[in-house]
Structure 1
Amino acid sequence: MRWSGTVFRALNPYWAYRPLSGEGAAQFGGRFNSVGQAALYTSLTVETALREAQQAGSFMPVTVVALAVEVEQVFDATNADALAGEALTRADLAQADWADEADRLGVARVQRIAERLAKGYNGLLVESFAPGAAGGNLNLVLWHWGEAAPNRVRVIDDQDRLRYPPQAPD
């Protein structure tokens, strides 16, 4: 499927000046990418982005950015037929112990699924599995993106607030 619209990221302030890098995900890994594979984790609402970023316990500082996205070949994991077509279930993607398994084995089952999907898709539309998330809380995880079609992602920053080095407002 093609996905087009605005998404949100709540990211570590360290990456605020590079909100499209995917380097943090590559460095530490995530549910849908193993260490070494860049990924851009985004959410369809600000609330979902904040919930995703706050899974480590107490509230952590974040920078929230909005992105304009136009991406071809997105796997729709919210569609039961699409899941069945890839021999997947919601439970496969919701793997609760993925981080422990990745620590133990180097790669979790759900990360292997993401690696397989990334060979044929540019991204994944998937429900949020963050604590407190409801069925309508959705994420768009991108494995392949850039500045040009067919996988265009652009930061919405009309006042250049994310410039580096940071500067006082005009």
Structure 2
Amino acid sequence: MSAPLKYSGKLFRALNPVYAGQPLSGEGAARFGGRFNPKNVPALYCSLSPVTALREANQVGALQPTTLVCYDAEIETIFDGRDAEALAREGMDAAALAAPSWRDEMKQGEARSQNFARRLSQAGYFGLLVRSFAAGATADDLNLVLWTWGQSAPTRLTLIDDEGRLAASSRQR
């Protein structure tokens, strides 16, 4: 196991409004699969900045309706996907992480990036810090993909919604 990172601070997600009432569920990622989670495996794709979150959620076509949420996070045991040596020890590299073919690979089973994420999760990592691969993103645009999260240490993720706005919007639907 490579020396894990810890993350403490704000995380952001730009949600499809369909999932805005369940900002901690990971249901959308489980339903469709993602670069770092196969279908039927929940994951939260969070960003370290609101702009990166918006880029991630709107990668195809024009900007669609989006609900931006913020979390307060204290997450331990994170794999640093920016570390070339750590990636090499895991049989990965930056190009494999960024490969646009992951969706096609998923049609044949498990994409290479999903296999990598599964192995990390099985090794005890709660998440992966990785650069954003969304159009227009730079090396400074970072995501934290979580496979494990909860209400307490070592995977504390707390939605910031002091005014209950998401609950109110869910009741109006």
Partner residue, 1:159: 163
Is 1:148 the equivalent of 2:140?
A: no
Q: Name the SS of the counterpart of 1:145 in structure 2.
A: coil
Say if 2:104 is the partner of 1:113: no
- 1:97 Cα deviation from its structure 2 partner: 1.1
4+ residue segments displaced more than 3 Å: 164-168
Give yes or no for the alignment of 1:32 onto 2:33. Answer: no
Q: Which runs of 5+ in 1 are unaligned?
A: none
The alpha carbon displacement at 1:106 in A equals 2.7
Matched, 1:14 2:18: yes
**Range with bigger deviation, 105-114 or 154-163:** 105-114
Give the alignment's Cα RMSD to 1 decimal. 1.4
Q: CA deviation at 1:80?
A: 2.2
Letter paired with 2:122: K
Q: Structure 1 vs Structure 2: percent identity of aligned residues?
A: 52
SS at the partner of 1:107? coil
Distance 1:20 1:14 in 2: 13
C-alpha spacing 1:19/1:81, structure 2 compared with 1 (3 Å): same
- Per-residue displacement from partner, 1:118-168 (whole Å, max 9, x unpaired)? 112100000001111111000000001111111000001111111156458
State the TM-score, normalizing by the size of structure 2: 0.91
Q: Which runs of 5+ in 2 are unaligned?
A: none
- C-alpha separation in 1, matches of 2:159 and 2:33: 23
Distance in 2 separating the partners of 1:57 and 1:94: 20
Q: Structure 1 residues 16, 135: closer, same or farther in 2, change over 3 A? A: same
> Structure 1 residue 74: deviation in Å?
0.2
CA-CA distance at 1:81 after TM superposition? 2.8
- 1:38-97 CA-partner distances (Å, limit 9, x unpaired): 000000011100000011222211100001111111001112232233232101211111
TM-score, normalised on structure 1? 0.93
Alignment of 1:99 onto 2:103: yes
Aligned length: 167
Helix, strand or coil at the partner of 1:34: coil
Structure 2 counterpart of 1:58, from 22, 44, 62: 62
1:87 and 1:115 mapped to 2: Cα distance? Answer: 13
- Name the amino acid aligned to 1:19: P
1:64-79 correspondence to structure 2 within 5 Å: 64-79=68-83
